[in-house]
Structure 1
């Protein structure tokens, strides 16, 4: 697989999930995040954030809180030679029926148009079943579930063995996604964002071994 871009969920994947985070003081990198995004940058792979942020629509924090947190994320990534190239967020609740909330693909379509992205060269990394579905619905080449954040509960929902994931660090998985009968997206599970990126780069650099 030729890897040109990786899309990341934010809360629980790149940063510690603080639940409706709108205060930049609460932004805390999950260990390995800086190194992971720095590695992608060194290989010329673009990085994007796609995040459901219903706390905005629910009035828990203003949209400016999202932007302040993203600015802080950038500051924390900078010492690692890392950065987020662009981001999209959905401010709506699940009951609003929008097209931008994962697992729907509005955020992907927006990034695809803005950056001329090719789904066959992109991957999705997140800690929820919705993130895997988002990757599959968008037709991305790969979707990776990490065990950080809500990842262990998500693995349980999908019938995955979290202990085996921890032992191997990164492995291919086969599991039915809710509401998805067929998908060309390859599914993997990883301990955290760092092992996810290491696995993705290995697939990209040594495809015959994947």
Structure 2
């Protein structure tokens, strides 16, 4: 911790990241953080995930808050929004809060103590990977809970919930952050927690407390929640059939829903067949199936009505929604099964993307000594800015044998690089090999050293690096270093290089999307 910010004696080694869709509850969160006691984080990052950028940064500032920064994730979902937030952080820890929670008045003090506890809890030379806050759901004590209140109450015992969770940044780097295939605020936190624990990370319970109010929702919210069955199929695909046990998730009712919805479908099909064919046996079977559907629906409604307040409105809502829930659950489960049948573990975005210079970022002008002749290729700036917007470092790795041959000087090369930086920068690292091929150095591509040096300079593991170039030498350098290469062919690229490349993109924007979405 360091001294001094906004009058507080210390700064916590964390960045607070809040994904938001601009809900009114965000004001309550900011007010609570502003009045809470204790040392502040270095920065509060609000990631606006609305498509049109509805969050006003100036309206989010408060006396007593750390520096407030608003980023735009343009509807990528909470997982993508959190990834953008933590990648922009440079602190040891990243603390996640949801935009509809209210931290207690001593939250900053408790967070400081929880992070100290996690740092001190060292097992096998490794400190704890994460610290989970305690979630409290304010519930009425004078009456039974409604269905919506019972659903929200489950958050208080949920494991690894990111409504209040702090992770070490290097742990997030190691596991690739949140899996952006989880498009909603559901299961993305359990998936991340499982991946951390599977790699030996320990998640400690903390003492800080955050309240999660029961949201006001429509009576049909329970039907909409059945979309989670598709996410559960993704969890099953990624973590196996026992994922619920390992993630501390309740067993759910999908099997009962499948039985009920199957009975209902059979009742319709057999009933139509019996009517068209005037077949008494089909009618009997249809009646039996109908009885099964009624029994399943009645059991579900009774299970939801029994613990509740049993008001006319609540009972009516439970009966109506219990009719629709089984078929909705079955449909979403089937959609998830089909959609995620071939999913692989989330690779995460790379921690560094390197680009070849000539022929990849700029037009190849042999032995160029004139900065005025530097011309970026199409979409180069767009591709680079896409990575920068996600907080992913970018760099250049280039062979310049013309320097070694004396055809251009080191100064000429530096001027060209400066012009590239002016047009397309900033770049986080420049790696230049000025040797001739006959020098047999290790830095000239396809040798690995340009990639290795760039990774070392920025503290990135080579396997988390991508190199984008236009020749087999670029791909060979990536492979030799343990990184991944993506080929963007041009007129000078040989056909056999394209055929042999594992990853080929038509342009730089496509190459960047491959790097972000499926480069392993």
Superposition TM-score tier, normalisation by shorter sequence: 0.7 to 0.9
- What's the TM-score, normalizing by structure 2? 0.32
Which residue is 1:144 aligned to? Answer: 486
Alpha-carbon distance in 2 for matches of 1:20, 1:195: 29
Contact 1:37–1:83 (Cα < 8 Å) also in 2: no
Q: Say if 1:146 and 1:34 are closer, same or farther in 2 by CA, change over 3 A.
A: same
Alignment-derived partner of residue 29 in structure 1? 376
Q: 1:62 aligns to what?
A: 409
Give the structure with higher Rg (CA): 2
Deviation at 1:149, TM superposition (A): 5.3
Question: Secondary structure in 2 aligned to 1:99?
Answer: coil
8 Å contact kept, 1:12–1:149:
no
- Pick the aligned partner of 1:130 from 457, 466, 473: 473
Please state how far the C-alpha of 1:65 moved relative to its aligned partner. 1.2
1:110 aligns with 2:453: yes
* Equivalent-residue separation in structure 1 for 2:464 and 2:381 (angstroms): 22
Cα deviation for residue 124 of structure 1 reads 0.9
After superposition, where does 1:1-210 map in structure 2 within 5 Å? 1-2=347-348, 3-77=350-424, 82-140=425-483, 142-148=484-490, 150-151=492-493, 153=494, 156-158=495-497, 160=499, 175=500, 187-203=502-518
What's the secondary structure of 1:133's corresponding residue? helix
Instruction: Return the alpha-carbon distance in structure 2 between the equivalents of residues 26 and 150 of structure 1.
Output: 19
Distance 1:101 1:115 in 2: 20
Q: Which residue of 2 aligns with 1:166?
A: none
Structure 2 residue runs without a partner (length 5+): 1-346
Shift of 1:159: 6.0
Q: Return the alpha-carbon distance in structure 1 between the equivalents of residues 452 and 442 of structure 2.
A: 10
Q: What is the root-mean-square deviation in Å for CA atoms of aligned residues?
A: 1.7
**CA positional deviation for 1:26:** 1.5
Q: Is this contact kept in 1: 2:505–2:511, CA < 8 A?
A: yes
Work out whether residues 7 and 48 of structure 1, in 8 Å CA contact, stay in contact via their aligned partners in 2.
Answer: yes
Instruction: From the superposition, tell whether residues 104 and 12 of structure 1 become closer, same or farther in structure 2 (CA, over 3 Å).
Output: same
Structure 1 residue matching 2:485: 3-state secondary structure: strand
Q: Contact 2:361/2:376 (CA < 8 Å) preserved in 1? A: yes
Cα distance in 1 for partners of 2:455, 2:422 equals 25
CA distance in 2: counterparts of 1:189 and 1:67, whole angstroms: 30
SS at match of 1:199: helix
CA distance in 1, matches of 2:491, 2:513: 19
Count of residue correspondences: 173
| CA deviation string 1:154-193 (max 9, x = no partner) | xx12362xxxxxxxxxxxxxx3x7xxxxxxxxx3001121
SS in 2 for 1:49: strand
Is the contact between residue 145 and residue 188 of structure 1 (CA under 8 Å) also seen in structure 2? yes
Dislocated runs of 4+, deviation >3 Å: none
The SS at the match of 1:148 is coil
Check 1:193–1:75 CA distance in 2 against 1; reply closer, same or farther (3 A cut): same
Secondary structure (helix, strand or coil) at the match of 2:518 reads: helix
- Structure number with the bigger relative contact order (C-alpha 8 A, sep ≥ 6) is 1
1:7 is paired with a residue of what secondary structure? strand
TM-score by length of 1: 0.77
Look up the SS of the partner of 1:14 in the other structure: coil
